[in-house]
Amino acid sequence: MHDSFYGNNHRSNKDKPNPTVRPVNRSKEQLKHLQNILSNPRISQSVKKRFMSEKAGGYCSVCGGVATQIASYDMVDATLVEKYCDTCLAREIN
């Protein structure tokens, strides 16, 4: 969302905001357990969605994997919060 507004708007003289990134506190074992739940075909999509939103902290905004980082963009009168996995975060910010 922020890329399309800031990058494609030729009338905008504003720079793309820099995010404040903080990690989601989770051990490697917990992350592996969450990825196993997401990849299990015996668990329905509605159960996976509810579990991810309530227990795991959410999905990656780009690929839909387990979010490991939270990026906060300070904009005019608002703050945009997006969640990313490590791989997508490296692609989105750079």
Domains of the chain, residue spans: 19-93
Is the per-residue pLDDT at 93 higher than 90?
no
CA-nearest of 51, 81, 78 to 66 is 51
pTM of the predicted model over 0.75: no
Tell me the pairing of strands 20-23 and 78-84: unpaired
pLDDT in tens, 19-59: 788 887 778 888 888 888 888 999 898 888 887 777 777 88
**pLDDT number for residue 41:** 92
Strand, helix or coil at 37?
helix
Say if CB 70 and CB 79 are below 8 A apart: no
